[in-house]
Structure 1
Amino acid sequence: MAPKDHPSNLYDWRKEFKRLEGAYAPATIKAYYTDLSDFENWCVVHALQAFPATPLTTSMYLESMMPSHSVSTIQRRMYAISRSHKLLRLPDPTRDEDVHLAMRRIMRSKRCRPKQAKGLTKEYLEKFLEVQPDNPWGIRNRAIISLGYDILARRSELVALMSDDIEERRDGTLRLIIRRGKTDPFGMGRLAFTSKRTAQLVADWLEWRGAWIEPLFCGIYQGRAINRALGPDTIKLIVKNTARDCGLAKIETDAFSAHSLRVGAAQDLLRNGHDTAAIMRAGGWKSVDVMARYLEFAEHNVWA
């Protein structure tokens, strides 16, 4: 923290950031807090003023991270600096040409393809479902994995689902409304549909869980369901632990993440001959370029 007489203390960015509550996702606000705390501490160590920051200070800070941080992390921290200055009604140093040039140097020095989670395709899906134990956690995890694959869900979308968001259909499948997503911050929602198998796995989970729980997927404590939604990191752990239980090599297990459900389902849709519009609709993508990154590792198998 900066000393009491430090010029940065004239501007209480933490107090101003409370204005973001309700307008941004909690995870976004938390990331802003972390990033600005890092920037503030870096300025203290280097005897520089954090608020208002000069373009030179901002450029030096961003370039100091070049050896150890990814481009996306550096960009996020630049956005946090920009946002804090706007909230404090201070000139935004990130709009200066020197900061723009610093970011170009960073991006040119760290040319690499974005990391992509290993796709949990149909081949893996069968294995992931088979190894689940015959207990409440296995019942829940089978439903989570199968549903996440069917609806191409992000982990944040899975944990945000409520019991009222699903509807049984006459053909034995489910229709869901996904109310929150990365590209849908205002919760307009998108419709998604499941297979009969997934509908049955969800029904098995709901039968064990009980009707009084509000979140679709909740925690289990001492063998009982608790009325509290899972955190996004739990989905990641479920996928990684299941990969390990399948007996996969560590290098392969490490490549899986919660995003693997979305990646694998998109790759399978491409292999099965679905066009771009259908895949974008299924996954709720707004950008063809973003969707294309999910599919690039599937393309070589399309015509096999």
Structure 2
Amino acid sequence: MLDWRKALETLDGAYSDATMRAYHCDVQAYVTWCADARFEPFPASAAQVCAFLEAEGKRMAPSTVRRRLYAIRKIHRLLSLPDPTYDEAINLAYRRVRRAKPVRPQQARGLTASHLKRFLAVQPKTPWGMRNTAMLSFGYELMTRRSELVALRDEDITLRGDGTLRVLIRRSKADQEGQGRVACTSVDTAQRVLDWQAWRGPSTEWLFCPIYQERPIDRSLSDTAVKTVVKTAAKQAGYPAEDVRAFSGHSMRVGAAQDLLRKGFDTAAIMRAGGWKSVNVLARYLEYAEQNVWEA
């Protein structure tokens, strides 16, 4: 069998860690299916890929099936093999998958300012509570993705003369080349971050780090830790279980965008503030704000 893992290694540094994990997962799923069906995975025929997509479509979301297809395409290119993925039969197979399982994208519950106030009020007077208070405030005001939030370092923030912080968000899902965007915090949020930094000390350059036995650990938090902080805060604030499930690590970004819309900011201004490149993605967040579905 051709070594697809070695082929993927050539992508290191060109794509984010999350993208690389997805490529490995998707190609492995295809290779495993081929082994069960007694097919050689590479090079693949159009009929073989069609059969795989249709099989995956019975158990996976259409977005995952599409991602699998892109991974198969990438491996064929990396291995300099004839690429079967543009065959019209494959296009039709994927269309059948989408029509058979129409899925409306899931929407994280927006962590709006009213929710944030409740979340902050229940944070304990401990190092963990100090860190989480700063993280929740930062994530909301900067409208960060969770990967952006945990990637921040001390060198990315600057205290301004008015007591606010200037923050450089260096790289994001929509900015793979790292041109970055600049955002600013309120005085209150700046003070929360400064208080956290004062406790944490100079032992790490990561702005938000893990804590073990009341000592900061010199590494960044995982992006899943952001989701845990949000859900734990929701639970501590007394939200019912279904609401806790609806909050996610993306909720701060969603809620801040919804609040800006309610305050009268237009879509272009919100896109600039949050670093969105697609108005379609932002529109899904804002429709709930317009309908007041997620009001506290």
- TM-score above 0.5, yes or no: yes
Give a deviation string over 1:126-163, Cα, whole Å, max 9, x none: 01111111100000000000000000000000011010
Aligned-residue offset at 1:166: 0.3
Q: After the TM superposition, which segments of 4 or more aligned residues of structure 1 sit over 2 Å from their partners?
A: none
CA contact (8 A) 1:143 1:201 kept: yes
Match 2:101 to one of 101, 107, 110: 110
Opposite residue 75 of structure 1, the aligned amino acid is R
Equivalent residue number for residue 284 of structure 1:
275
Equivalent residue number for residue 240 of structure 1:
231
Equivalent residue number for residue 19 of structure 2:
28
What is the aligned-residue RMSD (CA, Å)?
A: 1.3
Which ranges in structure 1 are unaligned for 5 or more consecutive residues? 1-8
Match 1:44 to one of 35, 50, 60: 35
Answering whether residue 183 of structure 2 is matched by residue 192 of structure 1, we say yes
Match 2:6 to one of 15, 23, 38: 15
Aligned-residue offset at 1:301: 4.2
Aligned-residue offset at 1:267: 0.3
Opposite residue 205 of structure 1, the aligned amino acid is W
Equivalent residue number for residue 171 of structure 1:
162
Separation in structure 1 between the aligned mates of residue 118 and residue 273 of structure 2, nearest angstrom: 23
Give a deviation string over 1:68-122, Cα, whole Å, max 9, x none: 1111111111111111111001111211111100111111122231001000011
Opposite residue 50 of structure 1, the aligned amino acid is P
Equivalent residue number for residue 137 of structure 1:
128
Equivalent residue number for residue 201 of structure 2:
210
CA contact (8 A) 2:203 2:216 kept: no
Separation in structure 1 between the aligned mates of residue 231 and residue 68 of structure 2, nearest angstrom: 28
Answering whether residue 70 of structure 2 is matched by residue 66 of structure 1, we say no
Separation in structure 1 between the aligned mates of residue 138 and residue 7 of structure 2, nearest angstrom: 40
CA contact (8 A) 2:61 2:103 kept: no
Equivalent residue number for residue 4 of structure 1:
none
Aligned residues: 294
Give a deviation string over 1:33-70, Cα, whole Å, max 9, x none: 11111110100101112101111111111111222111
Separation in structure 1 between the aligned mates of residue 14 and residue 123 of structure 2, nearest angstrom: 39
Aligned-residue offset at 1:211: 2.5
Aligned-residue offset at 1:290: 1.5
Opposite residue 209 of structure 1, the aligned amino acid is R
Separation in structure 2 between the aligned mates of residue 261 and residue 292 of structure 1, nearest angstrom: 16
CA contact (8 A) 1:271 1:301 kept: no
Equivalent residue number for residue 123 of structure 1:
114
Aligned-residue offset at 1:30: 1.2
Equivalent residue number for residue 262 of structure 1:
253
CA contact (8 A) 2:110 2:251 kept: yes
Opposite residue 157 of structure 1, the aligned amino acid is E
Separation in structure 1 between the aligned mates of residue 238 and residue 44 of structure 2, nearest angstrom: 51
* SS in structure 2 at match of 1:176: strand
Equivalent residue number for residue 149 of structure 2:
158
Separation in structure 2 between the aligned mates of residue 191 and residue 58 of structure 1, nearest angstrom: 44
CA contact (8 A) 1:173 1:199 kept: yes
CA contact (8 A) 1:213 1:226 kept: yes
Identity %: 53
Separation in structure 1 between the aligned mates of residue 61 and residue 176 of structure 2, nearest angstrom: 25
Opposite residue 44 of structure 2, the aligned amino acid is A
Aligned-residue offset at 1:18: 0.7
Equivalent residue number for residue 85 of structure 1:
76
TM-score (norm 2): 0.97
Separation in structure 2 between the aligned mates of residue 301 and residue 30 of structure 1, nearest angstrom: 37
